[in-house]
Structure 1
Amino acid sequence: PNGATERNRVVSTCVLAQRRYRKKPCRKDEFRCKNGVCVPLTSQCDGKADCRDGSDETFPLCRNNTCEIDQFRCTYGACIKLSLRCDDKQDCVDNSDELVPLCRNDFTDFHICEERIIEERQYSPAVECRSLRQTCDDGQVLKEPIRCDGHVDCKDGSDETVARCAEAECVPPLFRCAYGGCAHPRAACDGVRDCADGSDEMQDLCDRILPPTTPKPICVLPAYPENGRYTLGGLTTGAPGQMFPSVVLKYSCNPQYVIVGSNTLFCYRGQWSQDFPECLRYCKLPKHDSFEYRCSSSVDDTLEPTIDCPEQIPDGTTVYPRCRQPVYYSPADLLPMRCENGTWDRTVTCVPDCGRLGDPADPLLLGSGREARRNELPWHVAIYKGSKHEQWCSGTIVKNNIVISAAHCFWSRGELLSPANFVVAASKLYRSWGHPNDTNVQISDIREIRVPDRFQGSATNYQDDIALLTLVSNLVYTQHVKPVCINFDYEFDSRQLKVFSVGKVAGWGVTEQGQFSEVLRVTDMPYVSVPDCMTDIPEKYKAYMTGDKFCAGYKNGIALCLRDSGGGLTFPARERGSYRYYLRGVASTAFHANTYCSNNTITSFTHVLTHQLFVQEYL
C-alpha cells in the first residue's frame, strides 16, 4: 500500500507540473506549440518541425505565407532557401522541395492545363494543352488533361499528389490545397471535401471541434530507402505519403547497392508484411576456377560457413574463401574477406597445384612391358595437324592458355606455318583423334605460335628449337589437366640436371618397327652429361648439339622418335611432403637409323633455362 501511494503521488505531481508547463506564457518572439512548448517565432513555417508535434509547420498555419524571390515555397506554405530545392535532402516537412517536377527533370508535365469553369470551380491558367493527354503513373490515360483540381481522376490517385502538384499555380481567389491542388474559392470549411487530401476541411483551419470518429486503418507509403526506390504494384513511380487501403511495394536499389531484406512488401489495412528493406553498398565476388566461397547462414558470421555465397555481398559481410582442391592450393593460409565501403579488404590467391602426377588409374600394358597410366602426366598434350587431325607433335601445359612445344613442329620451307593448321588436345591417352575410350578430353585451337627470332630450322641445326602456343580457349584445370611447374632458378636447375637424375617424358612416336604407338607411352630418362653425350652420339649428329641443348636417355631400346617432338622432359623435386615435376627440356632431335628411329641412341632436348627471357616475356 505504501508503494502504491508513493506512485500515485509521483503521477499527480507530474500531471500538475505538465499543466503548469502548458500554461506557461510564451514571449512575444516565441511561438507556442500545441503541446505547450515555446519555440522561437522565426522557426515558424521554416520547413523544419521545431515543435515535437509538428504544429509549427502545418498547412493552416503556413498556407497564406508569401515567400521572397530567393526562397522556395513548400507546398503547404513554408519558405526555405531556393538553393535547398532538389539537393537530395528533405528541407520541407512534406518533402515537396524534392518532389517537384524540376527535380525529376520532368518538363512535359510541368503545368496544369488552361482555365475552365465547371460548377463554380475554376482551374488556373497554364500552357496550351489541347493536344496534351494526362497520363497517370499506372499508365491510365485520362480523356481530358486535368489534374491538381482537388478531384482524383486517376485510379491510382497520382494526379492529386505533391509530386504532381507541388508547383501548381492557384490563381486567386482559388483555394490552394495542402498538397498543391487548386479548389474553388469557397472550398474552405464549407462542409464538403473539395481537396483530395481533405485539407480544406482540416480542424485547425476551420477552428471547430469535429465529432469523434474511428479512423479506418490505412497504408501510408513510407519514404524511399536511401540509395533506392520502390514502385507500386506495377507503377513506374510511387509517392511517399500517399494512402491506400492496401498496396504492394516493389523495391529496387541504385547501382552498386543491394537490397537487404525482402524486395517485395504488401500492406493491408495498415499492416505491413515485413520490415522495410535497406539498400546497402555491396561487393561483387570475384569469380575464378581456382577458388570458391562459403557464407554463414546466420546473421552471426562467426558461425561455421556452410552455404554458397551470392554474387553480390552486402557491406559489412564476411565471406570465407577456399581453394578448389585438389587442383589448386594456397601457399599461405586464406584469411576471411570482408566487404567494407564497396571494396574487399583483401584478395584471394590460389595457384595451380603444378607438377603433381595424376592418380594411377586404368592400367594399360604396352608392348614394351612398361605400364602406362591414364593421366600419369596431366600436363602432356597432343598436337594435331590438318583437317584430318593427324597427330603431329606433343606439348606441355605451363599455363591454362599456354603450351610449350618444339619450334620445328610448326616450321616448313624456311617459314612459320599458320596456327590455323593445328589443334591442341589435353587429357589424351589414345593417339587417334576422337578415340571412343578417351574421356575428359579438352580441345582448343591455337591463336598464336611464337618462336625465337633466330630459329631457322635445319639451316641453323635446330638451335632455339622451342615454341610457345597461345590457345584460343582456356583449359580448365582438373585432375586430368594440370600445368607442369616451371622455375628459372639457376642453382635449382643445376641440382635437377646432374648425372643420375631421372626425368619423365611421354609420346606416341614411331617405334623401332616403324609403327606409331596408339597408346601414350611414358618413360623415365636419365640426364646425360655433355662429355658423355658427345662421346656416345654419332659424329654427323654432333652438329645438332647446339649450345642450348642437353642430352637424356638410355642406349637400351628406350628413346624418343618421330612425332614425339615437343614433349616435355620433367624432373621431380620434393616439396611440402610430395613430389612436383619441373619442366627442364623440350624434345628436339634424335638420331635416325636408316628410315626408322634408333632406340639405341640419346635424345637432345632444348634447355628451357637458356630461353628464360623468351618464355617469361610471353608468360
Structure 2
Amino acid sequence: MMRITLVLLLSALLLQLGRTVGTVGGSAHKHEKPSDEKPEPDTSSLTPPPTPHHKAPPPSLLSQECVDEKHTRSSCTKVFCPPWERCINGQCVCKLPYQCPRFGPRVCGLEGRSYMSLCQAQANACREKRPLFSHYTDLGSCEEPFKVELRGLKGQQVVQFRTADVTALVCGSDSWNMAAANVVCKHNKNNPSLRGAKVFGKSEFKDIMGVSRVHECVDVRCTGAERTLAECLLYKPRSISEDTSVATVTCYTNEPAVGKDECDGFHCVNEKCVSWEHICDGVDDCGDNSDEMCCTGCQNGAFYCKSGVCLPPYAVQDKIRDCLGGEDEIETVETVRKSIPRSGSRKEHLGSEEPKTEVWTNSKDDILKIRNHTETLECGIPNMDYVHKTEEETRRRTKRVVGGEEAMPTQIQWQVAIQEDEKIHCGGAYLGGCWVLTAAHCVRPKPQSFRIKFSLWQKISLLTTTDSVPVKNIIIHREYNPRTYENDIALIQLEELAYEKECLHPNPAVRPVCVPWSPLQFPANYTCTISGWGRNKQGDSVNILRWANVSLIPNCESYYKERYHKGMMCAGDLEGNVDSCQGDSGGPLVCKDASGVSYVWGIVSWGDKCGEAGFPGVYTQVAHYFEWIRQQTGWPAVTKYNQ
C-alpha cells in the first residue's frame, strides 16, 4: 500500500512540473508525451528543475595533474588560438588589429561601427574584453545591430534576438546545448556572466506564448568560444507552431561562485560547478572549456585529441585543424567511427544532427580563410619527388647500426652536417630561411671556423645536391652549462648569398623541418626518428648517414637522477637496442604528426654508454625552447600555427 502511495505522489509531482524540458549542469531530460488538453500559459513551468545528484567522476577520464594546471581554451599548449590571437608562453593573447589580414567581408559591430574584417573586429573585442561582432554587412546596415533578449517572469528565460529584418526565438533543437547557452549568457547586456549559463532548457511554444508571441525560430550551433550569439552558426528562420520546442536559459547572476570544496562535480577554472557526467563529452559546459581540456579519453561520441582535448563530432573533418596533430582532419576508419555518436549518446548536447534548414550566417568559413592565409610556412614535408639513389647505393643499404639503418642519399632532407675546420663532428636540423638548430656543445662563438653542409650523405664524398654554406652568426643559449649540459641548444645563422636575402640556392633535396611550440604535441611512447653520422656500437666511425626509430621515454629523471634538468628528455629503448651515439650530437630527433608534418622534437645532447640497457639517450627538448628560438629568428621563420 505504501509503495502505491509513493508512486501516486511521484506521478503528481511530475505532472506539476509540466512539459518544460530543463537541464541543470548540462543534464538533458526527455520530452513527455503531450496531453490532449491545452492548459493556459504558465510561466511557472519555466522554473528550473532541482539539481540532480552529481555522479562520481569516471576514474580514468581525467588527468588530475593536468587539471591542477588550470587549462582553458586559451591554453595554446593544448589547442589553437583563434586567428585574432597568437600564442605566447603557452597562452593565447590578443593581436593588434593591424596584425590581422587585410581582406575579407566587412562586418558590423554591436556599437554600430563598420570593421574591415571579422579578424579586425574580434581583435578589438579581445583587447577590450567585450562582445563586439554583430553581423556581416551583406545582411544589413550597421545602424541596427544584432540584439539578444532574455524574456521571462522568473526561472528560465526565453531566448529571443532581433536584427534589422528578423525577430525570432532560438529553436530548442538538438544543437541547443550548454555551450550555446553559455554564449547567450555572456552576451546578456543586463548581466553578462563569465560563468555563463546555470541552466539551459527547452519548452514548447504554447507554454511561453504569454512571454513571447514571435512566430519564427532559428537553429544555432555554438562551440562555446564565441563572445556573441551572432558568431555562432545560424540557420535561416523557420515558422513555429504551438508544439515547436524553443530554447530557454537561466544565467548566473551575482551569486557567489561555488567553492572547490563545495562542488560535488567538476570544478571549472571559472569556478562553475559541472556534473561529472558532462566532462570530456565534447561540449563546453564550463564556459571556458576547462571540462574538455584534461581528458584521458572521451565519452558520448566526442572525438579525442592526443593532447587530451575532447571535440564535438561536428568538428571532425570540417577543414579546420583543431587537434594539435591534425588527427581530427585525417579521414580514417577510426575518425569516421568516432565522429558518429554511439548508441544512447546525449544527442541534445552533441548536436549530432544538422538542422534541416539552410545556413543563414556562418563565421567559420571566414575563420578558415584567415587561417589558410596565416598558416603559410612550408616545413616538415620532404620533397618526395626527388630521391637520389643508384643501384650501388641501394645495394649498400645495411641494417642494425646501434639499432639503425643506412639512409638513402636524399631521405632526410632537413639533416645538415656541421663542419668545423674541415672536420664533421656534429649534425643539425635545417629550420628554413637562414637558420640551423643544433646542440650548444657542438659550436663555439667563432662563426668563421664553421660551414654547414646540406644534402650530405657520405662524409667523404658529395652528392650533386650537396651544398656548403658559410656561417654568419652562432647564438648559444646564454644559460648553457657545459658541465651539466643544461640548455644544450644553439642556433646557427647562415651567410646570405651575394646581393640576395636568401642563404641557400633552391635545392630539391633540401626541406626545412618544423619547430614544435607545445610540449604536448607528442606524448610519451610516441615513435620518432633520429639520424646522424655517429659512431656505431663498437665505437667505430661511420661514413654514411644513418637513421633509427626510437620511442619517447617518460620519467627521464628516474634514470639520471640529479643529472636530469628541465628542458631535457629521453628517447630510445630501455633494452639499449636503439640509441644515438658520439658524433650524432646536435642532430635531430624528428616526430611526424597525424597529418604528416614533421617536427624537430629533440636535439641529440648526451647519454651514458651508447646502446646499453638502462641508459636511454638524453635530448634537448625543443618545444621547451620555442619562445627562445622565436625570439632569435623572428615569428615568420618558425611559426606555422598560433601566429
Question: What TM-score results when the alignment is normalised by the length of structure 1?
Answer: 0.38
Structure with greater helix percent: 2
Q: Quick one: higher RCO (CA 8 Å, sep 6+), 1 or 2?
A: 2
**Rg larger for:** 1
Question: What TM-score results when the alignment is normalised by the length of structure 2?
Answer: 0.36
